[in-house]
Amino acid sequence: MSTPLYTIIGTPFSTFTRSITLALAHKGIPFTQVRCVPHSDKAYDNHPFGFLPTLVIHEIDGKTVNLKLRETSAIARYIDRIAPQPSLLISPGHGKAIIEEQLWEFVSLVGAHGFPAVEKGVVKPRVAAIDGGKLTDSAVREQIKPAVEHLKRLLSQVEELMADEGYVFGSQLSWADFFLFPLLADLKAVPEGELLSPRLVNWMEKMNKLEAVKATTPGTLSVGARPP
Ligand SMILES: N[C@@H](CCC(=O)N[C@@H](CS)C(=O)NCC(=O)O)C(=O)O
């Protein structure tokens, strides 16, 4: 078997990294994954600010380039261009979309507001408390109370943007699902997963049936893993 043309730099534990590996798996693009955490030497070797992920493109048109592409939304655009099918884009009429750009609006909102609210506010402190083993459940709940209140509001705003059933944009699986899923899979793995509404739980059950989701689950919080 030939060496994959793409390497993704980032631990499976990283939610932004998983958005990309979900798409690569869904589109059947072979890749190698280098498991490292943010701000590690490996991360800095590939990203000026030590963030995850970086997609290393080894060849373009048969020529070795080893180009390092950073920023998840830029990587998503590249993947769409080299492998347009199966499409992860939407058209007007998919879910609540009136124009195509509402897909990227959703993706950007999830990255800019969802990531800090879910990961920094709730999941990371909860996992640190579980691993530390010193705080009681009620002490943790007290500590993260403001973050939980913020997250509740954010989840209901996210749900507002979603179609009433199916994927984020109804019948069309899209990048919106692949950006939201890693965050909510982490949330579901901690006690604050109780914040997920029936609509979000149904959506997660639908997502869990995808082969790409199954293929990218090892190494994530949802199976009790820790980085890298
Ligand atoms: N804007 C970046 C954000 C990526 C990001 O925040 N990745 C996380 C890992 S999931 C990270 O590297 N965080 C390091 C930090 O916050 O210092 C992108 O879209 O790729």
pLDDT in tens, 74-124: 999 999 999 999 999 999 999 999 999 999 999 999 999 999 999 999 999
Tell me, in angstroms, the distance from the centre of ligand 1 to residue 66's CA. Answer: 21
Mean pLDDT of 202-224: 98
Q: Is 40's C-beta closer than 6 angstroms to any atom of ligand 1?
A: no
What does the DSSP assignment read for 182-220?
HHHHHHHTSGGGGG--HHHHHHHHHHHTSHHHHHT-TTS
Amino acid at 39: H
Which domains are seen in the chain, by residue range? 6-82 (3.40.30.10), 102-217 (1.20.1050.10)
Find the helix or strand (DSSP H, E) in which 19 lies: helix 15-26
State the Cα–Cα distance between residues 153 and 24, nearest whole angstrom: 32
Q: Is 183's C-beta closer than 6 angstroms to any atom of ligand 1?
A: no
Q: Is 51's C-beta closer than 6 angstroms to any atom of ligand 1?
A: yes
Q: Is 179's C-beta closer than 6 angstroms to any atom of ligand 1?
A: no
Cβ(181)–Cβ(17) below 8 Å = no
Tell me, in angstroms, the distance from the centre of ligand 1 to residue 224's CA. Answer: 21
Q: Is 21's C-beta closer than 6 angstroms to any atom of ligand 1?
A: no
Nearest to 66 by CA among 2, 6, 25, 1: 6
Nearest to 162 by CA among 125, 116, 187, 196: 196
* pLDDT tens per residue, range 141-155: 999 999 999 999 999
